[in-house]
Structure 1
Amino acid sequence: MTGGDWLEPDWPAPANVKALVTTRNGGVSVGPYASLNLGLHVGDAPDAVTRNRALLRARLPAEPLWLDQVHGTAVADADENTGPVRADASIATRPRVVCAVMTADCLPVLFCNEGGTVAAATHAGWRGLAAGVLDATLARMGERPENVLAWLGPAIGPRAFEVGDDVRNCFVAADPLAAAAFRPAGAAGKWMGDLFMLARLRLRKLGIERIYGGEICTYFSPDHFFSYRRDGTTGRFASVVWLSE
């Protein structure tokens, strides 16, 4: 699955659906941003981020549509936009149009249909997940859920994602089955949450059964992935997907 400084999703997508996830390695940033930080908003030197994005661009058919992510449910049309857009997901139906999301503990979810005619990338932190960003992405794809594949990228895992009653109650109130995604932590009112399980529950509720990935914890992978919960000041890695010719 891994290829040097890149991760390739292990999912049975059509041959024309291309995807990759960057790691924190192979770039020029230093300090807590070492080395392939792609986020301009985290305090890293802008020229270093520009150089890092150029390194990624060299592996892609076009510049990705970079999003101004706000933990919401807006879905951008990557076919029609080239500059930064305030959204937490994007879709593409044209070849060589690259969808991208940046994360450092939140869950990146990549989508495509079995016909290879639409692809999407979604930023699903717990707030966006609870608000329905996966639902919004599927709606914008305009595809029957049984024809959709989803891949869950690296995110904070259930041994590291400690949350309070507010987060657990938010999910359980919407779906009682979500209770299985939380186990008591040491302190009263604290829980260890399974973001991967919560995403799978949501996807299955939408009718999507072909779900892959969800095995890599950013928190416990310091040599490969940035983690905001682990480090505080840190960079961002990208998950990208596109359709080839």
Structure 2
Amino acid sequence: MRIHVVADAADKDGGHFHERLLLLGAELVELDRDDLPAHGSIGETDLIFLLGSDKGAHEPKWKDVVERESAFVRTALRSGTPVMGICYGAQLMARALGGTSWRADQPELGWQRVDTTDPVLCPEGPWGQMHSDVFAPPATARVLGTSWRGPQCFVDDSLGTRSIAWQFHPEVTAATYERWVHDGYYGDSGVDTKELIRQARFHEAKTRNLAHALVDSALDFLQVRR
């Protein structure tokens, strides 16, 4: 497998997902979302993987970055390349396919269970959450998971190729989550940061196992050769 990973230059950590993909023999090619090339210039690829970001897909200052990545996603899907996304990647994909996103009233944090209609492609978790945004999926999407904050997983094949996205962070390791907590990605919410870190450490082993299984399920759904 040759997989192109779209991420911020300052945070390219795919955590448990990258670990599993490498175990499966994947070649991971990094693409900087702030300087994203045209899809036609990246060469052969089996999958586009959109990681999270501290950006907001709805924020005007990131308009050009969001539009470029959205066009990249649409071109990939129209050319037969599947796409999967996490957190900001899910918000970006929703927007690229006709949905939207906006700033939430409060951030969604900590390890939370997800209500699911498909425990294979969207296991209930609990999963790590760290975002301050909510998305509305495109009208063509099928929502597989929700929380009381909003959609948590959707799939779409409206452009002829399958895609899947998760709002939660199935990939995140305890070490990365702790770094995010210290960096305050979610803003000043008055949350107990020690409790967030405790949850991340407590759920580390289970999250890794769930994430590895989810990678396999997603690759099968997306019909990515292994």
Shorter chain as denominator, the TM-score bin is 0.3 to 0.5
> When you count helix as a share of all residues, which structure comes out higher?
2
TM-score w.r.t. structure 2 length?
0.36
Q: Which has the larger radius of gyration?
A: 1
Larger RCO, structure (CA 8 Å, separation 6 or more): 1
